[in-house]
Amino acid sequence: MGLVVQKYGGSSVADAEGIKRVARRIVDTKKNGHRVVVVVSAMGDTTDELIDLAEQVSPIPAGREFDMLLTAGERISMALLAMAIKNLGHEAQSFTGSQAGVITDSVHNKARIIDVTPGRIRTALDEGNIAIVAGFQGVSQDKKDITTLGRGGSDTTAVALAAALDAEVCEIYTDVDGVFTADPRVVKKARKMDWIAFEDMLELASSGSKVLLHRCVEYARRYNIPIHVRSSFSGLPGTWVSNERPQGLAPQVALRLAPHIASQGDRPVEQAIISGVSHDTSEAKITVVGVPDKPGEAATIFRAIADAEINIDMIVQNVSAAATALTDISFTLPKSEGHKAMEALTRAQAVIGFDSLRYDDQIAKISLVGAGMKTNPGVTATFFEALSNAGVNIELISTSEIRISVVTRADDVNPAVQAVHSAFGLDSDTDEAVVYGGTGR
Ligand code: ASP
Ligand code: MG
């Protein structure tokens, strides 16, 4: 049988018991005849605790030493896991990212993988070992410094190793049973999907779903590595994320749409129109007030933002008031970049010639995702009706072919997600969404 890469998140290895439980699962996979490579995250909230510590000794911890510190978390769990496996009578060896051949660029704290040369992992496997690899870390190609891939980066490590080793599947073990139609921490009646296409998963990830990171899914799609997201606590089959629905999965029966919309189209019922509802409370909104309504203004504003290396998300420009020929431009961006963006715009105020800036970090983004929505005209109306019935005010709107997103007040996020989830007939009959562990931190 083939090679399997398994990744275990921090909540699965939060304590000694967790590590022993995971070790048993890994050994079972080996006993079933697979070659097993395991990628592991830091135990529980270790990474957050290390960050807190760093902030206590220096207000702006960043760069080389920060990466040195954070990678220690994964070294602890990888060694303990290897010991626990040996205790079960099987051979295991642990490897840092660098030893496993994860080569990155030299951008500390958010390095990108540029090559994977897993020679030592292959040798370890050939010698009959289970290979345990520290997630979320690598070594920079030029300076040979230790780097990290950004928060949650262990998933990317797992997919990258799966691609380099030509694995059959990359199994991502987490604290929920798979990918749900909404965050099970918010919607108790969220439904587990048995399969979701890369395309929809990418859209869910980029609109705030935390179960898989965008970069990890992007990598998996590029190398066509099927991902199986599942719980290390329950052992139930989880959600497959791949190009095509795997053979052997029962065909999707329910049309995931409220009956009054379903009757509007003649779409075959085997295809779900909506994949899910995601939300994101990590963004802030900046409004540039009183921008002269003439060519080049938006270009100057967003050049200033781009030069500060800030990624923005949604943009809205108001119709200018005829009397003043001034307009407002609003955009959203990660809260963590808010300060930098305000500074960059303030510096450019004289050149751009706007009146003032407004900063608002009490916002939430709610998105509806589904490849089927592009051919279903009722979707947008139902989405807005659901929000309106829940008394939720909409501040910004943006759409793509397979997504509608709105910005609302942060306080409205839970009722808004729940209302949209119900309106599209996504609620399950039971409260099946179990959260087994983790703080969601
Ligand atoms: N331990 C790192 C984090 O908490 C990496 C990961 O969990 O994937 O972000
Ligand atoms: Mg973690």
More confident residue, 428 or 249: 428
The pLDDT value given to residue 439: 47
Residues 6 or more apart whose Cβ sits within 8 Å of residue 13: 19, 22, 40, 41, 43, 44, 77, 80, 81
Query: Going by CA atoms, what residue is nearest to atom 7 of ligand 1?
Result: 152
Average pLDDT over residues 223-241: 93
The CB of 97 under 6 Å from ligand 1? The reply is no
CA neighbours closer than 13 Å in the CB half-sphere of residue 80: 20
The string of pLDDT tens digits covering residues 118-152 is: 999 999 999 999 999 999 999 999 999 999 999 99
The pLDDT value given to residue 314: 93
The CB of 149 under 6 Å from ligand 1? The reply is no
Flag whether pLDDT at 270 surpasses 50. Answer: no
Residue 266, domain member (yes or no): no
CA of 47 to the centre of ligand 2 (A): 6
Q: Using alpha carbons, select from 10, 85, 101 the residue that is nearest to residue 50.
A: 10
The pLDDT value given to residue 409: 97
Average pLDDT over residues 228-252: 86
Q: Tell me how far apart the alpha carbons of residues 178 and 241 are, in angstroms, rounded to a whole number.
A: 10
The single-letter DSSP state of residue 12 is G
The pLDDT value given to residue 366: 97
The pLDDT value given to residue 440: 44
Flag whether pLDDT at 403 surpasses 80. Answer: yes
The string of pLDDT tens digits covering residues 145-167 is: 999 999 999 999 999 999 999 99
The CB of 41 under 6 Å from ligand 1? The reply is yes
- Using DSSP's 3-state secondary structure scheme, residue 417 falls into helix
For residue 166, what are the domain limits? 3-175
CA of 2 to the centre of ligand 2 (A): 28
The pLDDT value given to residue 374: 81
The pLDDT value given to residue 251: 59
Q: Tell me how far apart the alpha carbons of residues 86 and 93 are, in angstroms, rounded to a whole number.
A: 9
Ligand 1 atom at minimum distance from 150 CA? 9
The pLDDT value given to residue 260: 46
The pLDDT value given to residue 101: 98
Flag whether pLDDT at 378 surpasses 60. Answer: yes
Residue 62, domain member (yes or no): yes
The pLDDT value given to residue 372: 83
- Using DSSP's 3-state secondary structure scheme, residue 132 falls into strand
The CB of 372 under 6 Å from ligand 1? The reply is no
Q: Tell me how far apart the alpha carbons of residues 328 and 398 are, in angstroms, rounded to a whole number.
A: 17
Residue 436 has φ and ψ, to the nearest 5°, of -85, -25
CA of 138 to the centre of ligand 1 (A): 13
Total of domains in the chain: 1
Structure tokens at 96: 């840092």
Pick the ligand that lies closest to the CA of residue 158: 1
Structure tokens at 307: 């030069």
The pLDDT value given to residue 357: 97
Ligand 1 atom at minimum distance from 73 CA? 1
The CB of 135 under 6 Å from ligand 1? The reply is yes
Query: Going by CA atoms, what residue is nearest to atom 6 of ligand 1?
Result: 152
Within the chain, how many helices (H) and strands (E) appear?
13, 20
DSSP 144-168: --EEE--TTTHHHHHHHHHHHTT-S
Give, for ligand 1, the residue of 8, 39, 47, 439 to mutate: max count of ligand atoms closer than 8 Å to Cβ: 47
Q: Tell me how far apart the alpha carbons of residues 36 and 131 are, in angstroms, rounded to a whole number.
A: 7
The string of pLDDT tens digits covering residues 164-217 is: 999 999 999 988 899 999 999 999 999 999 999 999 999 999 999 989 999 999
Flag whether pLDDT at 296 surpasses 60. Answer: yes
Q: Using alpha carbons, select from 154, 186, 150, 200 the residue that is nearest to residue 173.
A: 154
Output the CA–CA distances (angstroms, integers) from residue 204 to 45, 182, 201, 209, in the order listed: 24, 10, 5, 5
Q: What percentage of residues in the chain have a pLDDT greater than 90?
A: 78
- Using DSSP's 3-state secondary structure scheme, residue 26 falls into helix
The pLDDT value given to residue 431: 66
Residue 34, domain member (yes or no): yes
The pLDDT value given to residue 130: 98
The single-letter DSSP state of residue 13 is G
Query: Looking at the whole model, is its pTM more than 0.85?
Result: yes
The string of pLDDT tens digits covering residues 322-358 is: 778 899 999 999 999 999 999 999 999 999 899 999 9
The CB of 152 under 6 Å from ligand 1? The reply is yes
DSSP 44-82: TTHHHHHHHHHHHH-SS--SHHHHHHHHHHHHHHHHHHH
Flag whether pLDDT at 255 surpasses 80. Answer: no
Q: Judge contact between 426 and 418, C-beta under 8 A.
A: no
The pLDDT value given to residue 389: 96
The single-letter DSSP state of residue 252 is P
Residues 6 or more apart whose Cβ sits within 8 Å of residue 24: 88
Tokens 């409220």 -> residue:
258
Flag whether pLDDT at 81 surpasses 90. Answer: yes
Averaged pLDDT of the chain: 91
- Taking the CB of residue 91, how many other CB atoms lie within 10 A of it? 14
Angle at 119 between CA 117 and CA 124, to 5 degrees: 140
Residue 354, domain member (yes or no): no
The pLDDT value given to residue 396: 92
Q: What percentage of residues in the chain have a pLDDT greater than 70?
A: 93
CA of 42 to the centre of ligand 1 (A): 6
Flag whether pLDDT at 39 surpasses 50. Answer: yes
Average pLDDT over residues 290-299: 90
Residue 272, domain member (yes or no): no
Ligand 1 atom at minimum distance from 136 CA? 5
Flag whether pLDDT at 259 surpasses 50. Answer: no
Structure tokens at 238: 């989880």
CA of 441 to the centre of ligand 1 (A): 11
The pLDDT value given to residue 250: 67
Residue 322, domain member (yes or no): no
Q: How many residues does the chain have?
A: 441
Looking up residue 153, the CATH number of its domain turns out to be 3.40.1160.10
The pLDDT value given to residue 288: 96
Residue 313, domain member (yes or no): no
Ligand 1 atom at minimum distance from 157 CA? 8
Protein residues with C-beta less than 5 angstroms from the ion ligand 2:
10, 41
Flag whether pLDDT at 21 surpasses 60. Answer: yes
- Using DSSP's 3-state secondary structure scheme, residue 234 falls into coil
CA of 100 to the centre of ligand 1 (A): 17
Q: Tell me how far apart the alpha carbons of residues 70 and 76 are, in angstroms, rounded to a whole number.
A: 11
Query: Going by CA atoms, what residue is nearest to atom 5 of ligand 1?
Result: 152
- Using DSSP's 3-state secondary structure scheme, residue 270 falls into coil
The pLDDT value given to residue 434: 76
Residue 323, domain member (yes or no): no
Beta bridge partners of 6: 38, 171
